[in-house]
Amino acid sequence: MKAFFIDRYGKQNGVIGEVPDPAVGVHDVLIQVHATSVNPLDSKIRTGEFKLILPYTFPLVLGNDLAGVVVRTGSAAKRFKPGDEVYARPPEARIGTFAELIAVDENALALKPSNLDMAEAASIPLAVLTAWQALVETAQVKKGQKVLIHAGSGGVGTLAIQLAKHLGAFVATTTSTANVEWVKALGADVVIDYKQQDFANELRDYDVVLNSLGADVLEKSIKVLKPGGLLISLSGPPTAQFAQEQGLSWVLGQVMRLLSSGIRRKARKHGVSYAFLFMRANGVQLQKITSLIEAGVIKPVIDRSFPFVSTAEALRYVEQGRSKGKVTITIQ
């Protein structure tokens, strides 16, 4: 099969070439990939940023989102059948959606929303599961609470705003001048133009902050939380609890405890909590989200779509950090 893969870590690495078809385990579903999407995670994996946490082997096919059609199933896989249209974020140990075929554990899959085409569906899984696991699972956001979502025009931000509004939250977000009205249309109640305003001076008494930006924004976010509030970061630093959940070594756990000690100490000083979130594949959660998509509560936001032959260009475009919503790649 054809796939976009790397044979070593590095910023510009990656080619389209032939690789063996994936092996299909007893609990796996073999999927013909029709579309995928690009996430900042793909670039971080390509450069080796996660090699201590996720020890991949080469050649490594990149890609963390998919929509496609079931080709066949493993002997113990019972939830799907050939011909089913599905979408997923595959488990992090077995990524590889920039390819014509992928084998995915059936527990990571959900039926594709009936009202989305393949590219729209492929734009959803990683970003929406991140939003769900942050807002529903970790923060348990309730009606009337105040939530700040940084980078509201990004892949996670656009879906997190919609989900937070569905949960009944009052939503603030940060974005650039050009996107202010655009994120308001997504449902944000307050929009901070970071080129003109400092969110830390404008916002107060928030229950939850979802951060995907750098250390400076992370620390300033503490100031907008009320006592008992929760700061969730997608961009780190990771914690010892995360190391334990990932089954990492004791030594790595201590390294992560040290890396996060500063922000955890500052959070405690202000009477708030800090959590690092590294989203995980979850077909059950994705099926719940499918219901919201089919009801029109959550809608995909796509910036651009690229053909499979332009995968490297799609990665470069996302790395520029200016895309509004998601960037998709059509495989079939």
On whether both 271 and 320 belong to a single domain, the answer is no
Q: Per the domain annotation, does 314 fall within a domain?
A: yes
Q: Which CATH number is 150's domain given?
A: 3.40.50.720
Which amino acid, 298?
I
Rounded Cα gap, residues 290 and 317, in angstroms: 28
Q: Per the domain annotation, does 289 fall within a domain?
A: no
Rounded Cα gap, residues 317 and 305, in angstroms: 11
Domain ranges, residue 185:
126-276
On whether both 67 and 207 belong to a single domain, the answer is no
pLDDT (0 to 100) of residue 12: 86
On whether both 136 and 208 belong to a single domain, the answer is yes
pLDDT (0 to 100) of residue 53: 84
CA-nearest of 291, 278, 280, 279 to 110 is: 291
- Each residue's pLDDT tens digit, 196-225: 999 999 999 999 999 999 999 999 999 999
On whether both 15 and 147 belong to a single domain, the answer is no
Determine phi and psi for 245, rounding to 5 degrees: -65, -30
* 236 pLDDT higher than 90: no
- Each residue's pLDDT tens digit, 179-195: 999 999 999 999 999 99
Q: What is the number of structural domains in the chain?
A: 2
Residue bearing tokens 């009205």: 181
- Each residue's pLDDT tens digit, 264-280: 999 999 999 999 999 99
On whether both 23 and 107 belong to a single domain, the answer is yes
Tell if the pTM clears 0.85, that is, is over it: yes
pLDDT (0 to 100) of residue 56: 94
On whether both 258 and 319 belong to a single domain, the answer is no
